[in-house]
């Protein structure tokens, strides 16, 4: 069953009428209501296109968090063959908030990792809603070290509200683990490409998004803090999250203009959750193009390219 966001109510009502007419047609002469169904389908499609053509930053935030949006495991299953996951950081424990391993991306051996939020209550709890602890980032470092050693490109999928803020995570060195992961990415002598598929939250995101090419899905968001968190700090009122989202410049379109990211992957009308397979295919094409652009660079060039990219942020405004 499709889940609708609050601002999608006009579309939900039209599509509900279409379903009612289809159910009615099963018991009556379907030909007599076929025209009505077609008319309503066109009206619903037009309403959806118009709605998603003028989303506000807050509405994009809601779309990025949509429960039916494809997650890392969906991209991995659709794009990576012969995937072999690796577990544990060899220091403390396994953290399932970050899933990673090795496989083939369109025939090319790669290291792949990403934050996984989970699809239902059981998996969300197991993956801690995509909020990694220090051992998750140390696992990412272990994977990247292996990729660098064997000359394999690194692909990462970002989808997290942020790193886990619990006391035990702080006790085990959360900030240090994020910094080490970021440092590891900057020192890689192999190409790395990162794609923000939902939320890119603060250091929890940048720990696996410090890449040669940073891409975002059309309705994803990427920011140093959530709109609710920013509203709580600035106005001491989380209800002003919409104002915060507008002023923080968190959308893919804003970030491309500011030079923070390198490209936007177009989503189907209505968001990635409307057609996950088309979204995954488009993401694969964008990643393939990015890896191709980096394919002729040596290790030193790769490092310089990455360093220049991040040093240039904010200098051309």
Q: What percent of the chain has pLDDT over 90?
A: 84
- pLDDT, average across residues 71-94: 96
Contact call for residues 57 and 246 (beta carbons, < 8 A): yes
CA angle 132, 134, 138 (to 5 degrees): 105
- What is the tens place of the pLDDT at every residue in 176-220? 999 999 999 999 999 999 999 999 998 899 999 999 999 999 999
Average pLDDT, the chain: 93
Strand, coil or helix: 268:
coil
Q: Is 162 left (phi over 0), alpha (psi -120 to 50) or beta?
A: left
pTM metric for this prediction: 0.92
- What is the tens place of the pLDDT at every residue in 6-20? 999 999 998 888 888
* Helix residue ranges per DSSP H, the chain: 9-27, 30-52, 57-64, 72-79, 121-126, 134-150, 167-171, 174-187, 202-206, 227-234, 241-248, 252-257, 276-294, 299-311
- What is the tens place of the pLDDT at every residue in 218-233? 999 999 999 999 999 9
Q: Using CA atoms, how far apart are residues 249 and 5, in angstroms rounded to an integer?
A: 22
Q: Where are the domains of the chain?
A: 6-54, 61-312
- pLDDT, average across residues 156-181: 95
- What is the tens place of the pLDDT at every residue in 21-34? 877 766 655 556 77
Return the structure tokens found at 308: 């220049």
Fold of 61-312: 2-enoyl-CoA Hydratase; Chain A, domain 1 (3.90.226)
Closest CA to 273 of 18, 11, 38, 24: 11
pLDDT at residue 29 in the model: 57
Strand, coil or helix: 113:
strand
């Amino acid at each position: 069953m499709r889940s609708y966001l609050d601002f999608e109510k006009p579309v939900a009502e039209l599509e509900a009428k279409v379903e009612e007419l289809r159910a009615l047609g099963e018991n009556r002469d379907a030909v007599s209501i076929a025209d009505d169904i077609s008319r309503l389908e066109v009206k619903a499609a037009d309403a959806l296109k118009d709605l998603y053509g003028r989303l506000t930053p807050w509405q994009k935030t809601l779309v990025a968090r949509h429960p039916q949006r494809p997650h890392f495991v969906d991209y991995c299953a659709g794009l990576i063959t012969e995937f072999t996951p690796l577990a544990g950081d060899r220091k403390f424990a396994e953290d399932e908030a970050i899933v990673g391993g090795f496989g083939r991306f369109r025939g090319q051996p790669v290291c792949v990792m990403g934050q996984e939020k989970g699809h239902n209550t059981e998996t969300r709890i197991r993956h801690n809603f995509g909020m990694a602890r220090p051992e998750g980032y140390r696992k990412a470092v272990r994977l990247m070290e292996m990729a660098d050693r064997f000359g394999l490109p690194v692909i990462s999928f970002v989808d997290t509200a942020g790193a886990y803020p619990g006391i035990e995570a702080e006790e085990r060195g959360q900030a240090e683990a994020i910094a080490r992961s970021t440092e590891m990415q900057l020192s890689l002598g192999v190409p790395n490409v990162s794609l923000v598929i939902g939320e890119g939250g603060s250091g929890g995101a940048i720990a696996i998004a410090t890449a040669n090419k940073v891409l975002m899905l059309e309705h994803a968001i990427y920011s140093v803090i959530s709109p609710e968190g920013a509203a709580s700090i600035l106005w001491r009122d989380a209800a002003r999250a919409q104002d915060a989202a507008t002023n923080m410049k968190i959308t893919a379109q804003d970030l491309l203009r500011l030079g923070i990211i390198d490209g936007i992957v177009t989503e189907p009308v209505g968001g990635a959750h409307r057609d996950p397979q088309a979204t995954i295919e488009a993401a694969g094409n964008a990643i393939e193009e990015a890896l191709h652009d980096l394919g002729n660079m040596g290790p030193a060039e790769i490092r310089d390219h990455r360093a220049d990219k991040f040093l240039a942020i904010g200098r051309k405004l």
